[in-house]
Amino acid sequence: MIELKNLYKAYGDHEVLRGIDLSIETGKVVVIIGPSGSGKSTLLRCINYLEHPDSGAIFLNGQRIFFEATPGSAKPHSARQIAAVRARLGMVFQDFNLFPHMSVLRNVMEGPITVKGQRPKAVEGLARELLAKVGLAHRADYFPDEISGGQKQRVAIARALAMQPEAMLFDEPTSALDPELVGEVLNVMRDLAQQGMTMIVVTHEMAFAREVADEVVFMDGGKIIERGSPEQLFGNPQNERTQRFLQRTQGYAEVSR
C-alpha cells in the first residue's frame, strides 16, 4: 500500500533521513523503533507531507504522491492534491491536537465536514459510532479540557478514522500520557490492527511492538539499520547497534516491571 524509495530529508547540513526504502503491505502493522533523533517522526511527517522530502519518492497504492523529484530538487504538488492524499492517510500525533473550543463529537466530525464537504447531519452518525468504538460514546458532549489525556488520544484516533483513511500513521501516540493511561490507547490500536487497518506506528512501547507488529523496523542516524518480524528482531537481532538498543530498552522495561 505504501512504498518509500530512497527518501532523503535534511535541515541545513543535518541529514535526518538518509536513503529510506520501505514497503508496507495492505492490512499490515509496521512498528518503527529507535533512539530519539533517529528520524522516525520525520519519516512519518514526510509520508503525510507535513515535511517536504528533499528527494526520493512516495507511493500510495502504486500512485506517486506529493512531489515529483528532479535531479537535485523536489517539486511539490498543489495544495489541493496534497489535501486529497492526506484525506487518505489518518495521522495521530503525540500531543492530541484537538480543537479546544469544540466538543468531542464536533472534533470527530470536523474533518469530513471541512475537508470532504459533507453535511453535519450525515457525519454525526459516523462520529458517534467511532466514539463508541473507542469507548467514548458517553463523552460526546464534553470538551477536551474536561477529559483525560488517554481519552483525548482516543478522540484523536476517532477523528482520524472519521476521514475513513486507507492507512493510519501514529507518531508516538502514548509518549505524552501518564503511564496508567497508556494501556487504554494501545488497546484501541490493537483493535484496529485486528480489524485489518494498515498502520505505521512510531513508538517506544516495545511490548506493543512485540505483540501487534507484523514487522519491526529499527532506525538510527536517519537509516534503517535492521528490520524483521518481532520474533526475529527482538529474539535474534543481527546488527550490533540493534542489539545495544534493545539491551538498554528491555533492561529498563524489566526494571519498570
Residue 256 amino acid letter: S
Q: For the residues 64-72, what does the mean pLDDT come to? A: 62
Q: For the residues 10-20, what does the mean pLDDT come to? A: 94
Among 85-89, 137-141, 240-244, name the one with the lowest average pLDDT.
85-89
Kindly report the average pLDDT of the chain as a whole number.
90
**Helix (H, G, I), strand (E, B), or coil: what is residue 141?**
coil
Question: How far is residue 248's CA from residue 4's CA, in Å, rounded to a whole number?
Answer: 29
Percent of the chain predicted with pLDDT > 90:
75
Q: What is the pLDDT, as a whole number, of residue 74?
A: 55
Question: How far is residue 145's CA from residue 167's CA, in Å, rounded to a whole number?
Answer: 29
Residue 145 amino acid letter: D
Q: What is the pLDDT, as a whole number, of residue 179?
A: 87
Query: Which 8-state DSSP code applies to residue 145?
Result: G
More confident residue, 50 or 223: 223
Residue 67 pLDDT exceeds 70:
no
**Helix (H, G, I), strand (E, B), or coil: what is residue 218?**
strand
**60 torsion bin: left (phi>0), alpha (psi -120 to 50), beta (else):** beta
Q: What is the pLDDT, as a whole number, of residue 72?
A: 53
Q: What is the pLDDT, as a whole number, of residue 87?
A: 85
| Residues 145 and 196 sit within 8 Å (Cβ to Cβ) | no
pLDDT band at 79 (very low <50, low <70, confident <90, very high): confident
The string of pLDDT tens digits covering residues 142-199 is 999 999 999 999 999 999 999 999 999 999 999 988 888 899 999 999 999 999 999 9
Q: For the residues 215-232, what does the mean pLDDT come to? A: 97
The string of pLDDT tens digits covering residues 197-214 is 999 999 999 999 999 999
Query: Nearest 5°: phi and psi at 222?
Result: 80, 10
Cell of 188: 484501541
More confident residue, 75 or 46: 46
Q: How far is C-alpha 18 from the chain's CA centre?
A: 20
Q: What is the pLDDT, as a whole number, of residue 253?
A: 43
